Structure 1
Amino acid sequence: MANFFKLVHNENVKIYVRIRTWVMFGILAFITAIVPFLIYIAADGIGMASDGVGAWDGMLLTASVTFFLNIIFTVIVAADSVAGEYSAGTIKLLLIRPWSRGKLLLSKYLSVVLFSLAGTALLILFSAIFSLLLLPGSGGMAEMLPGWSAGKYTAFSLLSRYADLFVICTFAFMLSAVFRSGGLTIGLSLFILFMQNTLSLIFTPERYSWAKYALFNNMGLSQYMVSPVGGGGMTLGFSISVLVVYYIIFIAISWIVFVKRDVTA
C-alpha cells in the first residue's frame, strides 16, 4: 500500500511541477476573488449592497461562474494524464515499472480527482472569504425556496456542481485513455459541458422515453431543489443511479483499453 501511495505521489508531482498548473490555480483564485467584488459594485449601484445581497448569494453567484472554469482546468489535466504519456513517448518507460497497468491507471485517475478537489476547495475558500468581506447583507436568493436554509441551499448547489465536474472529469479521463489524444479529449469533454442544457431542451424525457437515461439529462442535480420530480418522472435517486452507471462504464472502458492495449516498440 505504501508503494501505491508513492505511485500516486509521483503522479501528483507530474501535475504540480508544471507551471501550467499554478497558472490555472492563479487564474481560478483571481476570478473567484474578483466576482464577489463585481457583485458588490453592481448591488451597490442599485442600492442593494447593504441588505439585498448576502454572503451566501455571493458564494452561489461566484460558484456559477468559476465552476465552469474549474471544470475546464480539470478536463485539461485529465486529458493530459494518459494521452500525455503517449504524445511525450514516455508510456513505455511507465509500463516497465514494477506495477501493474491497473495500478498505474488508478494512480493517474486519483491524481486527477485530487486536482479537481483542490480546485474546488480553492474556489469555495476564496468565494466564502470575499463574499463575507464584501457582501454582509441579509438578502437571500439562497432562501427563496421553502424548506431550504441558506447554508443547506448553498451546500447542495456546490455539491451538485462538483458532481457534474466529477462525471465530466471521469469522462475526459476515459477519452484520454481510449484515444490517446489530449486535443480530442478536451474538445469532446467541453462539448458535453457546454451543450448539456441545449441537448436537454431538445431531447426531453417527456418527448423521448429513452432521454431520461441520457447523461446530459441527469446532470445538474440542483434541478431537484426546485421540484423533487423532474421531467419524465425522474427523481434525485434515479439521476444519481444513472450517473453511477455511467461512471462505472467510463471506468471500465478506461481500464479495459489501458490494460489490454498493446504498446508497440
Structure 2
Amino acid sequence: MSRGLVSIVGAGPGDPELITVKALKRIQSADVILYDRLVNDQLLAEAREGTLRIYCGKAPGLHAMTQEMIGRILAAHAAEGKQVVRLKGGDPFIFGRGGEEAIVLAQAGIPFEVIPGITSAVGTSASSFIPLTHRGVASSFACVTGTGSDGNVSSVRWDLLAHSVDTLVIYMGISQLPQIQQALLYHGKNGCTPAALIERGTTSQERIITGTLAELHSLALSQNVSNPALIMIGEAVRVREQVIQLQLAANTSLTG
C-alpha cells in the first residue's frame, strides 16, 4: 500500500476565519485529524463525515498523550495510506513542537508537508491595534516563551531582552508573570514601559488589558486573566490608545 501524507498545519490564533486556504483544503480532505486544545471547533466541523478526529491537546500539567505517542500515531496512519492532518493552534513552528514531529516523520520515511499559520503574536497584534513594529517607535520585536520545558520560568536572557528589543511578546507567561516582571525590572527595564495582557486574542472572547510593566502582575490578578493569553511590552502598546481615541473623535464628529 502506498504511503499517505502528513500535513502539519497551523490553525491560526483562534478566529477560524484566519486559517489559510491551503490549510482549510487539507482539513476538508483529511482521513485523520490530530488536533490540539486551542483549535477552534468550527475548523474541525469542516472535516468530511467519517474523518477520524483524535484529540491530543496539552494543558498546563495535563497532556492528553505524550509527544512520542503523537509521533507514532501520525506515522502509523500515514503508513496505511491515509491523508493525515496534524492541526495546531497558531503556527506549527512557533512554540508548536512542529519541528519535533517533522523529525520523527523524516526518520520514519513518511512524506509530510508543513503549512504555516498566523501565530498568536501576529494575530493579536492586529486585532488589538498594537503593532509589533511602528515607525519611529519600534523597529524590532521578539517572541519568547515565558515557561520553560520544565514548567518553570523560561531561561531566556531577560537581561538582554530588557534592552535589545523594542516590542517583546511573551507566550505562555501568565503563570510566570511575577518572575518575568521582576526579571525585566531587575535588569533595568523601565517600570513605566507600556504593556498589555491579551486574553483569547482574535476571538469573540478577546480581552485586552493595558497598563505598565510595573502594573502587569497586579492587573492580571485583579482582572483574573487566564490562559490562553499573551503579554506584550513596549512603547508600541501606546498606539492602541491613540487609534481608539482617533476613532472616537471621528465617530463623534460624524454623529455630531
TM-score of the alignment, normalized to the shorter chain, above 0.5: no
Q: Which has the higher contact order (CA 8 A, sep 6+)?
A: 1
> By percentage of residues, which structure has more strand?
2
